[in-house]
Amino acid sequence: MLQSLASNSCVRLIQSHKSTWYFASLVLGYVLYLIFGAVVFSSVELPYEDQLRQELRAIKKQFLQENECLSEERLERFLKKALEASNYGVSILNNASANWNWDFTSALFFASTVLSTTGYGHTAPLSDGGKAFCIIYSVIGIPFTLLFLTAVVQRIMVYSTRRPIMYFHQQWGISKPLVAIVHATLLAMLAVSCFFLIPAAIFSALEENWNFLESFYFCFISLSTIGLGDYVPGEAVNQRFRELYKVAITVYLILGLIVMLVVLETFCELQQLKQLRKMFYLKKEKPQDRLAILEHDHLSFTTVSKRAASQGEDKTQSFIGVPTLMSPNDDPMIQ
Amino acid sequence: MGLKEMLSLVRVPSILLLGLLYVVYVLIGGVIFWELEGELGQKDIGLLLSNKKKLLLKYTCLDQDGLEAVAQVVQDASKVGLSLKGNYTSDGFWKFTSSAVFAATVVTTIGYGNISPTSTAGRIFCIFFALFGIPLNLVVLNRVGKYMLAIERKISDFLEGKTGRRKCTRFFVHLVSYMSGTLLFFVVPMIVFQQHEGWTFSQAIYYCFITLSTIGFGDYVADSNPDKVYPEWYSVLMASWIFFGLAWLALVINHSMDILERLNNHFKQWWTRETPEEESGSVEEENPETLETQVEEEDKIKKTPIT
Q: How far is A95 from chain B (nearest CA, A)?
A: 10
Cβ contact B79:A51 at 8 Å: no
Candidate from A132-146, A217-231, A266-280, B5-19 with smallest mean pLDDT: B5-19
pLDDT reported for residue A149 = 85
CA B200-A130-A253 angle, 5° bins: 120
CATH number of the domain within which A110 lies: 1.10.287.70
pLDDT in tens, A196-212: 999 999 999 888 888 89
pLDDT reported for residue B31 = 75
Q: What is the count of structural domains for chain A?
A: 1
d(CA A44, CA A47): 7
Residue B105: list chain A partners with CB under 8 A.
226
% chain A with pLDDT above 90:
10
| Amino acid of residue B48 | L
What is B184-222 written as a DSSP string?
A: IIIIHHHHHHHHHH---HHHHHHHHHHHHTT----SS-T
For residue A17, give the 3-state DSSP assignment: coil
pLDDT reported for residue B93 = 64
pLDDT reported for residue A134 = 86
Using alpha carbons, select from B51, B156, B100 the residue that is nearest to residue A35: B100
CB pair distance less than 8 Å for A111 and B143? no
d(CA B261, CA A151): 10
pLDDT reported for residue A193 = 93
Interface test with A, best of B123, B153, B251 (most A CBs within 10 A): B123
CB pair distance less than 8 Å for B26 and A301? no
CB within 8 Å of chain A, chain B residues 167-186: none
Does B41 score more than 50 pLDDT? Answer: yes
Cβ contact A271:A180 at 8 Å: yes
Candidate from A30-34, A244-248, B76-80, B120-124 with smallest mean pLDDT: B76-80
Chain B residue with minimum CA distance to A97: B45
Residue A333: list chain B partners with CB under 8 A.
290
Q: Report yes or no on A328 lying in a domain.
A: no
Residue A67: list chain B partners with CB under 8 A.
59, 61-62, 66
pLDDT band with cut points at 50, 70 and 90 for residue B254? confident
d(CA A218, CA A224): 10
Q: Report yes or no on A8 lying in a domain.
A: no
pLDDT reported for residue A196 = 93
CB within 8 Å of chain A, chain B residues 260-279: 260-261, 264-265
Chain A residue with minimum CA distance to B45: A90
Using alpha carbons, select from A116, A114, A90 the residue that is nearest to residue A102: A90
Cβ contact A291:B149 at 8 Å: no
Q: How far is A110 from chain B (nearest CA, A)?
A: 7
CB pair distance less than 8 Å for A90 and B125? no
Domain limits at A108? 20-70+101-269
Cβ contact A1:A117 at 8 Å: yes
Residue A3: list chain B partners with CB under 8 A.
108-109, 137-138, 141-142, 214, 246-247, 250
Q: Report yes or no on A306 lying in a domain.
A: no
pLDDT reported for residue A99 = 60
CB pair distance less than 8 Å for A87 and B219? yes
A316's CB contacts (< 8 A; 6+ apart) are B4, B7, B8, B11
pLDDT in tens, A153-181: 888 888 888 888 888 888 888 888 888 88
| Amino acid of residue A32 | L
Q: Report yes or no on A308 lying in a domain.
A: no
Residue of B9 and B234 predicted with greater confidence? B234
> Is the complex ipTM higher than 0.85?
no
Does A146 score more than 70 pLDDT? Answer: yes
CB pair distance less than 8 Å for A7 and B96? no
Q: Report yes or no on A169 lying in a domain.
A: yes
pLDDT in tens, B7-39: 455 555 566 776 677 777 777 776 776 776 666
pLDDT band with cut points at 50, 70 and 90 for residue A259? very high
| CATH class of the domain at B63-278 | mainly alpha
Q: Report yes or no on A276 lying in a domain.
A: no
Q: Closest partner residue to B37 among A44, A46, A125, by Cβ?
A: A125
Integer angstrom CA distances of residue B16 from A152, A246, A301 = 10, 24, 25
Positive/negative CA dihedral, B81, B87, B92, B96? negative
**Can you list the alpha helix ranges (DSSP code H) found in chain A?**
2-8, 20-66, 72-87, 104-115, 128-157, 163-172, 176-192, 198-206, 212-223, 242-268, 271-280, 288-296, 301-314
CB pair distance less than 8 Å for A301 and B99? no
- Count Cα atoms within 13 angstroms, Cβ side, for B297: 21
pLDDT band with cut points at 50, 70 and 90 for residue B288? very low
d(CA A38, CA A272): 31
**Phi and psi dihedrals of B138, rounded to 5?**
-60, -50
d(CA B117, CA A230): 9
pLDDT reported for residue B13 = 58
What are the extents of the domains in chain B?
1-62, 63-278
- Three state DSSP letters for A18-56: CCHHHHHHHHHHHHHHHHHHHHHHHHHHHHHHHHHHHHH
d(CA B261, CA A304): 8
For chain A, the average pLDDT equals 72
Q: Report yes or no on A291 lying in a domain.
A: no
Candidate from A132-136, A184-188, B187-191 with smallest mean pLDDT: A132-136
